[in-house]
Amino acid sequence: MKIVADENIPLLHECFGSLAEVVALQGRDITAGDIIDADALLVRSVTKVNRALLSQASSLRFVGSCTAGVDHIDQQELNGRGISFSNAPGCNARSVVEYVLCALDILADRDGFELEKRKVGIVGHGQVGSRLYQTLDGLGVEVMACDPLCERVPDVRFESLETLIQQCDVIALHTPLTRNVEYPTHHLLDYDKLSQIKSGAILINAGRGPVIDNQALLRVLEEGLDISVVLDVWEHEPDVNLDLLARVDIGTPHIAGYSLDGKITGTEMVYKGLCQTFGLPARVRLAAITPMPALNRIAFNDSATAAQAAGMAMKSVYDLRRDDALMRRLFRMDQEARCIEFDRMRKHYCERREFSTLTVQARKCEAGVQERMKALGFHLQVS
């Protein structure tokens, strides 16, 4: 068997090496010629799997994308050719939730607000949105969700997008990128909607860049709309608009889902999908070869307040300011170098772990500290 794969799939050879010959290529550069005799193609979000790419792939039986998003995959074309497809729904949902929590923590420090006093609106109540909702709700934050496609459940407050825009102090976008469907998300936030966001609010996009019309966002910011903006995803990646980057409060190179845990789970989910398609036993257990986190324990004294402890624990696992600072190096580069650097930052991304890998000892701490740590998803030790 021959597998052609994006070289940025973690543990690629450990996982698939015993099953097949694995040819690892740069995801953006995979061509129709590269997969002529491949039995399986494994991609991440930067490879467009469409009619042109598949045109000569007569042996191809399986395509796997180690990602949550599938807007780069023409699934109709795959169905038409009888090619099985697997992706990795939810693999990195916790990672994105933690990115959003860390962004809010940094802005709360900078601007001196308490998250518990802010109203948060989440657009998209799927794997990421629902987990974010639950976490914020557990922290005592007032939350509302907007998702016209999601089944209504009693303990979730669903509102329209207009209500979220009018009422919320934080708006977080977690929808897929869709066009030509009943509720398309392409440019869901256009000039009109952006202009209506409350003054002082925070807008976060860690879904897909084109869900916000980036030119319109730049325009409202230039016109003086007083909002803070956190962008992990950009229209026309890897070609980031520097005028927009200059105006956002936090900017990162599409790494919200890049915890090592999330990426490895993505690999494992696709590995299982491939094994199923080819009738092979899925023997590799990636948990067994996942590295130990560099930091696995932190202890608080009884003098710690809940807010202080939460901020320290979050920053010790993931300090988002580092990613923002690295991103701003793009200002020093010409367009070609910027695109290369955007991909380079993603390829060589630091080994970031999820909150659950950190044990928080809060034995003598007040109940508030313990509750906050638990709600955030840390592994709490109180005995």
Ligand X SMILES: O=C(O)[C@H](O)[C@H](O)COP(=O)(O)O
Ligand Y SMILES: NC(=O)c1ccc[n+]([C@@H]2O[C@H](COP(=O)([O-])OP(=O)(O)OC[C@H]3O[C@@H](n4cnc5c(N)ncnc54)[C@H](O)[C@@H]3O)[C@@H](O)[C@H]2O)c1
Contact footprint for ligand X (CB under 6 A) = 8, 44-46, 67-69, 92, 254, 257-258
Q: Whole-number minimum distance, CB 204 to ligand X, in Å? A: 14
CB 323, CB 252: distance < 8 Å: yes
Q: What is the DSSP pairing of strand 250-251 with strand 228-231?
A: parallel
- List all residues 6 or more positions away from 141 whose beta carbon is below 8 Å from its beta carbon: 115, 116, 118, 119, 120
Catalytic status, residue 125: no
Q: Whole-number minimum distance, CB 44 to ligand X, in Å? A: 3
Which tokens go with 157?
Answer: 């407050």
Query: 24 or 307, CB closer to ligand X?
Result: 24
CA distance 161 to 185: 12
Catalytic status, residue 208: yes
Among residues 129, 251, 266, 377, the one that binds ligand Y under rule CB under 6 A: 129
CA distance 124 to 145: 7
Query: 27 or 377, CB closer to ligand X?
Result: 27
Residues shown for the chain? 383
Q: Whole-number minimum distance, CB 29 to ligand X, in Å? A: 14
User: What residues does 299 pair with on adjacent strands?
Assistant: 361
The binder of 46, among ligand Y, ligand X, none, by C-beta within 5 to 8 A per type, is ligand X
Containing H/E element for 206?
none
Report the 10 Å Cβ neighbour count for 33. Answer: 8
Which residue is it, tokens 């869709």? 178
Among residues 27, 64, 69, 209, the one that binds ligand Y under rule CB under 6 A: 69
Among residues 5, 15, 41, 123, the one that binds ligand Y under rule CB under 6 A: 123
Q: Whole-number minimum distance, CB 6 to ligand X, in Å? A: 8
Question: Hey, what's the torsion of the CAs at 23, 29, 33, 35, to 10 degrees?
Answer: 40
The binder of 176, among ligand X, ligand Y, none, by C-beta within 5 to 8 A per type, is ligand Y
31 is known to lie in a ligand binding site: no
- Residue 64 sits in the site that holds ligand Y (CB under 6 A): no
Phi, psi of 376 (to 5 degrees): -75, -15
Return binding residues for NAD(+).
Answer: 127-128, 147, 175, 232, 257
Catalytic positions, written as ranges: 208, 237, 254
Give the residues lining the site for ligand Y (CB under 6 A): 68-69, 89-90, 92-93, 96, 123-129, 146-150, 174-178, 183, 185, 188, 206-208, 232-233, 254, 256-257
